[in-house]
Amino acid sequence: MSGTYLFGYGSLISSESRARTGYSGEAIPCVVKGVQRGWNMVVPEYKMTAVGATLNLHSTCNGVIVPIQETELPKFDKRESGYHRSKVDRSNIKGINNQTIPKGSIWVYIPDEIQSPSLNNPIAQSYVDVIISACFDYGEDFARQFIKTTLNWDSPWINDRQNPRYPRAMSKVPLASKIDSLLEQLIPTEFLQRN
């Protein structure tokens, strides 16, 4: 089957989050070679920093491939304001559990400008929760891989669960203690610096 697909490596991993923007089909978990994820997309209107991808031949990034109808693409482009779409080479994508990668155009959103998190625009836990909760849908190893392959955790980071900065935050975070436990286990120094 041929069509148009997005590679989601942050909040687009979450089916609930995607549904708030537009219609997308069933996601295929995968790993992409040549993509490096990091906390590097400053979103001043929300006073936070999101994850962004850069192209790096020596890196890998887990996420999901999701089918998107052409008519829905403008909605996702609007959502990903400050990013531009770049094509991903299918040969760099490997489905987890040997799932087949579909034929068609596969796009990834790349930040227009790379910036580090700051005290004014920190990493927001409400955004982390959306991503890692979605990662758990594909297993704990998938969630671990997200944490381990994301750069810049040693940046300003706030626990905003009570007053979320992220506009598509979850109303409740049933996996909050599980998320915190995994973060503390994998990046203990950085986690302890979260305010």
* pTM for the predicted model, two decimal places: 0.94
Instruction: Please check the confidence at residue 1 and state whether its pLDDT lies above 70.
Output: no
- pLDDT > 90: percent of the chain: 89
Q: What is the mean pLDDT of the chain?
A: 94
Neighbour-count burial for 38-56, b at 16+ CB within 10 Å, e otherwise: bbbbbbeebebbbbbbbee
Confidence of residue 97 (pLDDT cuts 50, 70, 90): confident
Alpha-carbon distance 59 to 62, whole Å? 10
3-state secondary structure of 157: strand
Instruction: Please check the confidence at residue 2 and state whether its pLDDT lies above 80.
Output: no
Alpha-carbon distance 52 to 50, whole Å? 6
For 102, which DSSP code? Answer: P
62 neighbors 30 (Cβ within 8 angstroms):
yes
